[in-house]
Amino acid sequence: MSMSRKLVAEFLGTLWLVLGGCGSALLAAAFPDVGIGLLGVSLAFGLTVLTMAFAIGHISGCHLNPAVTCGLVAAGRFQASEALPYIGAQVIGGVAGAFLLYAIASGQPGFDLAMKGLAANGFGEASPGKFDMVSGFVTEAVMTFFFLVVILGATSMRAPPGFAPIAIGLCLTLIHLISIPVTNTSVNPARSTGPAFVLGGLALQQLWLFWVAPILGGVAGGLLHRWLSTEETADAIDRAVAAAEALTAEPEALAPMPARQPR
């Protein structure tokens, strides 16, 4: 698959994540009379990843997240030379998704961007529960760490095939159920950059945390998986070597036994 196709897939997937996840928080979470609430928003974020994993997973791997890309590099599952183009496409997709969401939301009478926000991430005064910076940093790092552990485990060669998108989507749902009150849940620098870029102000000032903490957590998760799967990788190498040796064996060893002559 060409790099251009991979980057377009990452752009569209990240746009969908911001539009679907942040859109559910902004437009539907507290809609008059019938709102989807925290549970609905958490599920929406998980569904964006699940649906895109099936839609573009075979094209780009469906990272949609600079922390995931960095974690995959750390785990030895993605080429470092392709990381920066992937991250660039993800960030552009996140910003495009935020602008598209703003274009939709601003059509509501009396819409106030400063008051409504765009489901931006934050700590302190910008935290839904007013959690401080340390709580926000620890939450983002730990949640991203476990997100990478699940992603790498679900996509390993010994995992049941075909179920990875479901496990990953449900993991992201669980992460949001835990951490929305703390930081509004990022675990994804591109998801944080889009709304912060549109909003500016405090969201943009605090954006550094939602790059540093998720990437540190993602890299730690990737390194742990690499260590845990060392034996699995060694077994795979042993099987490949044995197969190669069998193919290059002496012709006499591969030749069929001659038929027994009748007496």
Mean pLDDT rounded to a whole number for the chain? 90
Residue 90 and residue 151: Cα distance in Å, rounded? 18
Banded model confidence at residue 5, pLDDT cuts 50, 70, 90: very high
Residue 142 and residue 120: Cα distance in Å, rounded? 19
Comparison of pLDDT for 241 and 34, the residue scoring more? 34
For the record, the structure tokens of 125 come out as: 């005064």
Backbone angles phi, psi at 78, to 5 degrees: -150, 145
CA-to-CA separations, 240 to 10, 237, 245, in angstroms, rounded: 32, 5, 9
Query: Is 70 exceeded by the pLDDT of residue 115?
Result: yes
Query: Is 90 exceeded by the pLDDT of residue 244?
Result: no
Q: How many helices (H) and strands (E) does the chain have?
A: 13, 0
- Residues 6+ away with beta carbon under 8 Å from 215: 66, 67, 70, 144, 189
pLDDT in tens, 190-215: 999 999 999 999 999 999 999 999 99
* Coil, strand or helix at 236: helix
Percentage of the residues of the chain whose pLDDT score is greater than 70: 86
Q: What is residue 119's predicted lDDT score, i.e. its pLDDT?
A: 94
Backbone angles phi, psi at 89, to 5 degrees: -65, -40
pLDDT in tens, 44-93: 999 999 999 999 999 999 999 999 999 999 999 999 999 999 999 999 99
Query: Is 70 exceeded by the pLDDT of residue 106?
Result: yes
Residue 10 and residue 87: Cα distance in Å, rounded? 9
